[in-house]
Structure 1
Amino acid sequence: MDIVDSRGMTPLGRKTAETGINFTSTTHFSRGLTFIRTHPLFGQSPARRAVPQTLLLQENADPQKIAFLLRKQWTLYSVTPMYKFSYGLKGSDQDQVAILVQIASRSQLPFENAEDKVVWSGWFCCISGDELLESVSEDFTCLSLFLANGAESYTGIVGTWFQKTFDCYFSRLTISPLNLAWMAAMWTGCKVDSHITATELVFSVPCIPQSLDISYAIHPEDAKALWDTIQKTPGEVTQEEVDLFMDCLYSHFHRHFKIHLSATRLVKVSTSIASAHCDGNIKILNSKHLLGVLTLLTELAISHIQ
């Protein structure tokens, strides 16, 4: 696996003894990417989605790098196709890659083996994007989903460098209440063998002078049992099923607390698979469902840039 190391250089190319940027391919995914098209139309959610499968990473995936992606808060961005992207590392022409970018602070201590401290990380990917893509010039590389962990100022520096260098555009990827509801339903239906946690929904109630949040936690077995009574076709989820799942939860909450959650705004979803906030922050919790989560996020990123 090739590694391009440009430590000692900032993203804008200025020399420094304190920070550096490091590019490395994190893993390969057996999906091709050749296309980009408007899907779904006008950024709307589709009427049905395939259930995220427990996809296995290829054998050359580094378990340590996969673990690095888990249980960290990542901020989501969508990225337009990059022109003549020079770090598109692939194991073969059919492979799709994830690219990890890191900024490190170099230690000032006079030790030869002193390790640099990573202060910011970001990674590009585009999982199962082949179903949403249409032909673009071979001069362009489509890595539509970007996730950042660290100070927003570093994200701005890296984003500016990529935009100037590869003629692309970064935009913050927020998650609508509708897509959060999809996540709640789809992730509740996923099989998890360990580290099972409650399904928690957070709703925002606009109030004056300040807003009020309502947290609604459902025992994972109860949430899964409810979903199993709703889902009609194994392997796919429909908008009708998502709506019914949420309506059942709303009715149960109203019966106990006399509060209409349908009048509030869903802002966060937490499950054993992942947690996601409407601001575009996500934390992936389960390695077996990593590709399923990234597939959905890739769809949202591609839809966002259309």
Structure 2
Amino acid sequence: RSCLGLTPALTARRLSKSRKAPKSHYITVRQRQPLLMFFSHEKVNPEHLALLLKSEWKLSYVTPLYQFRHTQLKSYSRQLSAFIAAEKQQGFAVEVDGSQSNFRVSFSVVQGMTETEDDAETVLIQVRAGFLRPISEAQRSVWSGWLTCVNGNSDYLCSLPKDFICLPLFGSSGSEVLTTLVQSWFQKMFDCCFGPLEMNNTCLQWLAALWTNCHPESSIQHLKMIWTLPVVPPLQITYTVNPKDAWKLWSSVRKDPCEENKEEEGVSIDIEDVMRFMQGLKSHFYRHFRLDLSAGCLKQVSTALGSATFSGRVKISNSQYILSTLTLLTECALFKMPV
């Protein structure tokens, strides 16, 4: 039954997609869909959207969930509440700000957070703490999390057995203890596995390019990058670029697809665009400071639209481009999953 025990044919098909060099992997996806996707606020509960935008999320990947049903969320809410209560009763240190509170869990569907018919609907999980007065009084949210799949690889999603649901990207905000408990419950209930989703150089460079590309519509205000260089002691460099300069460089390195392709496929970006953009930034830095950033590692990228770190923390600050960001992160989660 385990999701790691899929038939060889299915895993082989997935491997043929995932094991290509990062360059080939991303080009394939970028050619399939227009890269700039605008988010329709009308489809999403405003409270859900506000929660997604206000928090910084710690990312993980999740293998496919066995017999997970979106129609059973009320039952899952009760079961996870009972699981946390049982762990607390057995001595598990479940405390929030030193208080011994009661915990209530709610699962809900975030409508409108899909891009293709193969994507499963996003699921939001909230844990509230408080004392047992009338049910909704004196309770506050102490932990939030979500599972999503935006523009997941259609070949892989269609290859899954019908009893498996793929929501490969998991974000959590709140107590690490509660994160551990929630993940443990999911693993026991749905025979899945969680793992840390660190963002490598390629992923962070993609985000820098994606957000810079949005500058004419939504000012990025700055492009800030943090690099580390392998010297003794380690050298950390903060590189902040004026948004107009970043946009001017980005415009100069972009390929100009023919009008025919624009109409057929929409605006797209490939890995060559990203690499030329980053090389331009590195070359400019080298001319001024005689330090080669190519020898180091990109650890953090931030703009007014969002921020992301090598350790797998992300904050999305602008709802217009949330689907573009989640598409990239979904790809990273699928790419990182064990097979």
With structure 1 as the length reference, what TM-score do the two structures score? 0.79
Match in the other structure for 1:65: 48
Q: Which residue number corresponds to residue 138 of structure 2?
A: 115
More strand by share: 1
Letter in 2 for 1:188: T
**Amino acid aligned to 2:140:** K
Single out whichever of 177-186 and 290-299 deviates more from structure 2.
Answer: 177-186
**Aligned ranges 1:36-115 → 2 under 5 Å:** 37-38=14-15, 39-41=17-19, 44-45=22-23, 46=25, 48=27, 49=30, 52-57=35-40, 59-87=42-70, 94=117, 96-107=120-131, 114-115=137-138
User: Cα distance, 1:226 vs. partner?
Assistant: 0.7
What secondary structure is seen at the aligned counterpart in 2 of 1:129?
A: coil
Percentage of matched positions with identical amino acids? 36
Offset, 1:202: 0.5
Q: Is the 8 A contact 1:132 1:299 kept in 2?
A: no
SS in 2 for 1:85: coil
Distance between the aligned counterparts of 1:188 and 1:112, measured in 2?
46
**Deviations, residues 123-159 of structure 1 (Å, cap 9, x unaligned):** 0010011435242111111111110111222111100
The corresponding residue for 1:12 is: none
Further displaced range: 191-200 or 118-127: 191-200
Q: Which moved more, 1:276-285 or 1:94-103?
A: 94-103
Q: Which runs of 5+ in 1 are unaligned?
A: 1-35
Measured in 1, the distance between the counterparts of 2:26 and 2:128 equals 44
Displacement, 1:43?
A: 6.9
Moved more, 67-76 or 185-194: 185-194
Counterpart CA distance in 1 for 2:218 and 2:26 is 31
1:200-241, CA deviations, whole angstroms, 9 ceiling, x for partnerless residues? 110012344x53311000011110111011111452222222
Q: Distance in 1 between matches of 2:310 and 2:284?
A: 24
> Could you tell me how far apart the structure 1 residues matched to 2:211 and 2:191 are?
36
Q: 1:279 to 1:112 in 2, by over 3 A?
A: closer
User: Is contact 1:107-1:117 (8 Å) kept?
Assistant: no
Look up the SS of the partner of 2:255 in the other structure.
coil
Contact kept in structure 2, 1:43 and 1:303, CA below 8 Å: no
For 2:204 and 2:43, the matched residues in 1 are separated by 32
Q: Which runs of 5+ in 2 are unaligned?
A: 1-12, 74-108, 258-266
Q: How many angstroms apart in 2 are the aligned matches of 1:47 and 1:207?
A: 31
The 8 Å contact of residues 211 and 305 in structure 2, kept in 1 or not, is answered as yes
Contact preservation (8 Å) 2:204, 2:301: yes
Partner in structure 2 of residue 259 of structure 1 = 291
Q: Secondary structure at the match of 1:217?
A: strand
Letter of the aligned partner of 1:297 in structure 2? L
Q: 1:281 maps to what in 2?
A: 313
Which residue number in structure 1 is paired with residue 212 of structure 2?
Answer: 188
Q: Kindly tell me the number of residue pairs found equivalent between the two proteins.
A: 269
Q: CA RMSD of the aligned region, Å?
A: 2.6
- 2:264 matched residue in structure 1: none
The match for 1:232 among 248, 255, 260 is 255
Change (3 A) 1:251 1:69: same
Q: TM-score, normalised by structure 2?
A: 0.72
Paired residue secondary structure (2:121): strand
